[in-house]
Structure 1
């Protein structure tokens, strides 16, 4: 499928308004819909950004969201308000009917129109503030709190014990932490049992990290685990570069599963390890209903 080409300097992260058209093209190439991860990966592929740009974090103190992910989130926000894309309750984004015959948009026109609509809603009392690009999009602040706790307050030993507990709660048996033995970067080992019928010996490394794990770190880990386990598991509070992901799944090499900071947070939440989920009532006023009386 042919698509437009956008050219940026290798270490440059495009501003959010320059991501409107790449994002629309990404959705079209995905068949009109996709998850955030699928859309972001396709947009990055189209933009052909360099590793240095992809590795830039938006705010290392608050989480592991990269700058490109942050700006793509703003691009989705603007295009949704402009009426070209929408998202379901399951987190799947899709093109709307309005986008069927739209090949490209004028970024300045989209930005102007969306901000105008936002100001109009504010004047009508339907407060819908539209933050500027410099503000942080954080619909789930608990992730930022957890990230700071894990990376700044929890000790390295404490993080290893947390990973040990997480693996046990996930069905691993004979989980041992060996990180203090200086065993070639390996932090522990265990046995993963699958439905009580099969089992795999797993070696893991857990990295309490605020940045991006590189491909060289994955190669070093693989070198330490070769011949000692069926699989490798690398866990981090940070994220992984595209090259690191490719290295982990390289053909002919022992497989390594990766768990990044967001996936780690999701797993802790799922297992109820230090995270409680409370259902809170949310009341919304339908102003149009009252006006129609």
Structure 2
């Protein structure tokens, strides 16, 4: 059981290497994609999901990043960009070293919890210092999965408007190749793009065939297509969306959907919270902790 809970430890080294390869900073999705590609992560692992709908791999990479922050190898910024510290640029981690880091911080958190709440059980890798933003994202995604399919189409249209699209219309036409609506993105006074979108109110995986069918339906009708889903896209679906020589299709999965809602403050309220910086206090604790 402990082995399963600390399974994310194997990603500490690859995540560190990914940030170095990306020039020291990167968006979470960029880091995940880099790790998946260079560590040859199998499709089944990339598509496995938690009860929240978040992919298990994405969740584990985020936990790996959190431990690297506590260790002082990643910057603690929470503005959607991960970055290395000076120590992070120089550090190299194999899996045994990564597991030592995890064990060290689990022990620190357990000691901190025990001192603040003596009757409380010790924390482990699954419960130590949960990431509030991640938890709230999971709640938002779960709510999106509970709206009606028609409601999801309307809320996606609202999201597109809030993101700068104009003349957004939900067509609601059956048997239209999966086209749920269209909009216009004005880049500047001289350039605009007509965009078709499809809303997949899914709890599972969008396949390559579905991306291909959508592209076929949009050819000759728009400059670009967008598929928005509460689920995830298979690795083959992502490859199909980026296929060279074919009209581009932008894929927005549940995780990206949540970040877009947060970015435009749609359906969410901003709040300021403070998290205890255990790394700061670690140097002041006795050797027994």
Are 2:212 and 1:219 equivalent residues in the alignment?
Answer: yes
Pick closer, same or farther for the CA change 1:143–1:85 going to 2, 3 Å: closer
**1:55 aligned to which of 47, 58, 65:** 47
Equivalent residue, structure 2, for 1:183: 176
**After the TM superposition, which residues 99-248 of structure 1 pair with which residues of structure 2 at under 5 Å, given as runs?**
100=90, 102=92, 104=94, 106=96, 107-122=98-113, 125=116, 130-133=123-126, 137-140=130-133, 141-152=135-146, 154-248=147-241
Equivalent residue, structure 2, for 1:92: 82
What are the ranges of 5 or more consecutive residues in structure 2 without an aligned counterpart? 1-5, 285-289
Pick closer, same or farther for the CA change 1:97–1:126 going to 2, 3 Å: farther
Q: TM-score, normalised by structure 2?
A: 0.77
Equivalent residue, structure 1, for 2:60: 71
Q: Which has the higher contact order (CA 8 A, sep 6+)?
A: 2
Pick closer, same or farther for the CA change 1:57–1:99 going to 2, 3 Å: same
Q: Is the 8 A contact 1:34 1:94 kept in 2?
A: no
Superposition RMSD in Å: 3.5
Equivalent residue, structure 2, for 1:253: 246
What are the ranges of 5 or more consecutive residues in structure 1 without an aligned counterpart? 1-13
**2:269 aligned to which of 260, 268, 276:** 276
User: Alignment partner of 1:221: what SS?
Assistant: helix
Shift in Å at residue 283 of structure 1? Answer: 9.3
Shift in Å at residue 206 of structure 1? Answer: 0.8
Q: Is the 8 A contact 1:143 1:265 kept in 2?
A: yes
Q: Is the 8 A contact 2:110 2:128 kept in 1?
A: no
User: Alignment partner of 1:142: what SS?
Assistant: helix
Matched length: 271
The one-character-per-residue Cα deviations of 1:54-113 (angstroms, maximum 9, x if unpaired) are 111122xx23x2111112222223333344444334342315427625453524433332
In 2, the alpha carbon distance for the partners of 1:84 and 1:135 equals 19
User: Alignment partner of 2:240: what SS?
Assistant: helix
